[in-house]
Structures are given as C-alpha cells and as structure tokens.
Amino acid sequence: MPSDQNRREFLGLLTAIVALAPLDGQAQVLPKRVLIGFLGAASKAAGERYYSGFPLGMRELGYVEGRDYEIIDRYADGDLGRLPLLAEELVRVKPSVIVTSNSPAALAAKQATSSVPIICGTLRDYGGLGLHANDARPDANVTGIRVLTEGLTAKLLEIALDLVPGITKIALLLNISNPSTVDYRQEAGLAAAKLGVTLVPIEVHKADEIAPAFQTILHTGADILIVSSDATFVTRRRQISALALASRLPTIYSYREHVEDGGLVSYGANLRQNFRRAAYYVDRILKGAKVVDLPVEFPTSLELVINLATARALSLTIPPALLARADEVLD
C-alpha cells in the first residue's frame, strides 16, 4: 500500500502534468495580444460600415479580437487638422502596426513614426508627399490599397453627362484642407476640358462651410454637382444629401455610403472591401513581413450605385442605359 509521502508525490506530479497540458487543443499558451492602432479621418459612426471591413478580414484570417489582438483607435471626426495629434497618441502606445483610413491619416502617422508599419485602406500618394515612392516596392513604412484608379475622376464627369444629357456646367465640391484636393481638381479640370463642359470648383475649409457652399453653387447656375472624395464630406454625408435635395441639384459621389444616406449616384471603390483587404497586410506584418515586400494594390472592385427614391424626389428620370450599368439600385 503506497505511503502518504508517495501519494503526495504522485498528486504533485499529476498536478504538474495537468498544468502543462494544452487547453482546447492548443499546442502552447497563446502569446500576448498584439496592439493594432487605427487612425480614422471620419468619425467612428460615419465610417462604421467600411471600417468594419477590417475586423471582418481579420476574422477570416483566423484572428479573434480580444484574444489575438486589441485595437486602439482614434478618430478625427472629419477634422483633418486633428490627425497629427491623434497619430502621436497612437504611436505612444507602441502598436505593432497602424491602420489608417485615408492618405491624410497615413501622412500624419508617417510624420509621427518612421518605424511602425502603416497600412492605409484608401491610399493616394498625391502631390509627391512621399507616402511611398514605388507601388511595387514601397521604400518607406507605408503601403496599402489605393482608392482611386486612373481615369476615375473623369468617369464621374462622364456619368454626370449620362445622367443629365446636355448639361454645360458642373460644380465640384472640394475640401481644400485635404492635400489630395490639388490633384483631384486638376484631374477634373482636364476631364471637363475634354468633355467640353465648364467646371466650377467650390472650395470649403471645414464642415461648417458646407451649407453656405450650396448657396454659392446655386448662384453659379451649375446643372449638377460632383462631391469629391473626402472624409469630411463622408462624415457630413446626410447633411450634403439633404442640401442637394433641397437645392434640387442632382449630385454624384465617389462612395456608396453617400447614396445609402440619400445621395443620388455614386461610382468608386468599395471602401469596405478595401479595409477588408487591409487585414491581409496586417497579417503579413504580424508574421514578420516588411513593408518593402508588400506592394501597393489597386481596388478590386468599382461599383455604381443609384438611389431611385432620391431620383423621384428630384423629379429626375434615370436613363435606362445608366440603370442597366448599375451594380446596385436602392429604392
């Protein structure tokens, strides 16, 4: 019969074996959760639909938020001037990687750190700002997925002409606090000249100038309005849609989020898919890849979305050919 000492030794050995045994089939204890910084130019609420593509992409790659990683996020709420301070706050918590919503946010993050990898969900290296020098082999700490493709701005003007045939004057709403405005305006101007229409740029510096801008647009006699791609405009998209409807002004946007909140027509990248793809980059970084080995990608899909309810409210008939080309028609 075993002695009390032998019994105690056996129980101690059994306890040690149980403590070392893997749980739930895991071969080892999970490593400490990694920190991922997220810097959004729009508000969290305004960007919720497309920002949510990132955690979705992470889940598809096998990551569970709260178990494998934690997101530390900051949002500028459409005020691009806040981005540098918010970027510095994120860098101080020492994330393994920073995901940004757009190029102004990526630029702010790059100015705050030269070592932390930065993945931009809607990348555009405008004006030679040096976000990355080479799409195929980024040589800085920034890479990601582009939001604009060559000719996309011109396509918005073509859709305007398809939507309301015979128009001669197109207004373009621009946020000049966004550095991408310079290139956007230039591309739109070149396209307007080729199409034989007059482009009327309407500039705002901040969100509270949007409503007065519509008064200016009406005074110009513009037939239609194009709203440039900008986080401030996305954040204020319901206000813009309401102002466009009250002004009886057909309006075209770059992102479907505008159309879902009362806008008329959008054509551009699927932002949610862009952020879903951003998870792939983060996965590669967490597994040891360097930014230089992660080429910049172009959006995988462009979508044309039309809101028929808004068209009826404007007493506007959408041409059948344009309807046939739509990826989605909302009603």
pLDDT in tens, 306-328: 999 999 999 999 999 999 999 99
pLDDT at 290 over 80: yes
Three-class DSSP category at 169: strand
Rounded to two decimals, the pTM is 0.83
Across the strands, what pairs with 75? 40
Residue with tokens 């959008």, as numbered in its chain = 266
From the list 298, 228, 238, the residue with the least C-alpha distance to 267 is: 228
The span from the CA of 48 to the CA of 237, in Å, is 13
Measured between alpha carbons, how far apart are the two ends of the chain, in Å? 83
Residue 131: per-residue pLDDT: 72
The span from the CA of 87 to the CA of 107, in Å, is 9
Give the pair of three-digit tokens for residue 57. Answer: 């992409």
Mean of the pLDDT values across residues 57-66? 96
What is the percent of the chain where pLDDT is above 90? Answer: 74
Q: Which helix (H) or strand (E) holds 119?
A: strand 118-123
CATH T-level topology, domain 34-148+271-301: Rossmann fold (3.40.50)
Give the pair of three-digit tokens for residue 47. Answer: 């960007």
The span from the CA of 57 to the CA of 69, in Å, is 13
**Ranges of CATH 3.40.50.2300 domains, the chain:** 34-148+271-301, 152-269+303-330
pLDDT in tens, 84-122: 999 999 999 999 999 999 989 999 999 999 999 999 999
pLDDT at 68 over 70: yes
Higher-confidence residue of 68 and 132: namely 68
pLDDT at 7 over 70: no
The span from the CA of 267 to the CA of 307, in Å, is 12
CATH class of 152-269+303-330: alpha beta
